[in-house]
Amino acid sequence: MNNNTHNKKNNKYENEDDLHDLDSMITSFTDYLRFERRLSTNTIKSYNRDLLVFKKYIYSNENICPLDLNREKILLFLEHLYKENYCESTVSRMLSTLRTFYKFLLIKGDVKKNSFIEIENPKMPKKIIKTMDEDHVKDFLDRIPHSLKLEVRDKAMFELIYSSGMRVSEIINLKLTDIDYEENLIRCIGKGNKERIIPIGKSAIYYLDIYIKSARFKLQNKKNKKSSEFVFLNKNGSGISRQGFWKVLKKYEKIFNLNKRIYPHLFRHSYATHMLERGADLRVVQELLGHSSISTTEIYTNINKKFIKNSYFKHHPRSKKS
């Protein structure tokens, strides 16, 4: 065997070892996210989806070593993403994922440098947040019937999501022990398994009480004689799923013949906007929504330009002629 053949075989084996190392490092990173950072299952799945795209790209390019990436090679990867028609928001998220992944590898000593810190995320177009005004929300909630057991559940569910600003994932994972009826408070486990306490209004607590004492009891799965710990149940007595929540919302959108698309986060956006319009402190709304950064909450201050204009002319001492 000549030296050239021997070297080629060695290079091939080294590349396979690198790919094996990449697999094991992703597994190690996933364990870190789950057990040390204690991130939610959905968040970890999002990280893994991004890493899978990266891994497939590395597998298809033998000349790129995942343990020795430089700026030029990362830019080639980004160019590949755009050729595959990934949008700016997805590319930005993938960059953030890989920046975090390689920071983890750098701390562990698996790589000598995290070149992803040299790459800026693509500039994002300003996100347009849609909301419903107070009258539209009130009209939607008032029109939900509450005679049948599933209707009572729906009434309580939508009263709560607007009253609390909770995410759908938080609503469907809400447990009976998370409700404090005396103090009108909800204990909520949000993104990253962070706990927050949310006050809720009288209307939401009223319909929650009716639902739990009457309709929920009838929905419990008596066949298996196993009662669910979750507040909101489906017709089979199990906790309602995210898809189930969507189906319920779409049902009312159709029944009410609404002229606009309704989706769960619309209630959360409306909750935040209406709170700020009525004078709530931005930091308080940040805490209630469970945002880790105040900049995330600030997007709601730019929604209602008409409200801001009216507030100025109403409250500023020099807004009118004397």
Q: Which one-letter amino acid corresponds to residue 207?
A: Y
Query: Which residues are annotated as catalytic?
Result: 167, 191, 265, 268, 291, 300
Q: How far is CA 160 from CA 45, 141, 171, 184, 213, in A?
A: 28, 10, 8, 11, 16
Residue 274 token pair: 């209406």
Q: Give the up-direction half-sphere exposure of residue 140: CA atoms within 13 A in the CB hemisphere.
A: 30
Q: Are 233 and 240 in contact (CB under 8 A)?
A: yes
Residue 10 token pair: 């060695």
* Number of Cβ within a 10 Å radius of residue 151: 14
Q: Which one-letter amino acid corresponds to residue 29?
A: F
Residue 69 token pair: 């990436």
The 8 Å CB, 24+ separation contacts for 109-115 are 110/21, 110/25, 110/67, 111/67, 111/68, 111/69, 112/68, 115/69, 115/70, 115/71, 115/73, 115/74
Query: Scanning the structure block, which residue is given the tokens 């009209």?
Result: 139
Residues in the chain: 322
- Interatomic CA distance for residues 30 and 49, integer angstroms: 11
Q: Give the up-direction half-sphere exposure of residue 128: CA atoms within 13 A in the CB hemisphere.
A: 1
Q: Which one-letter amino acid corresponds to residue 236?
A: N
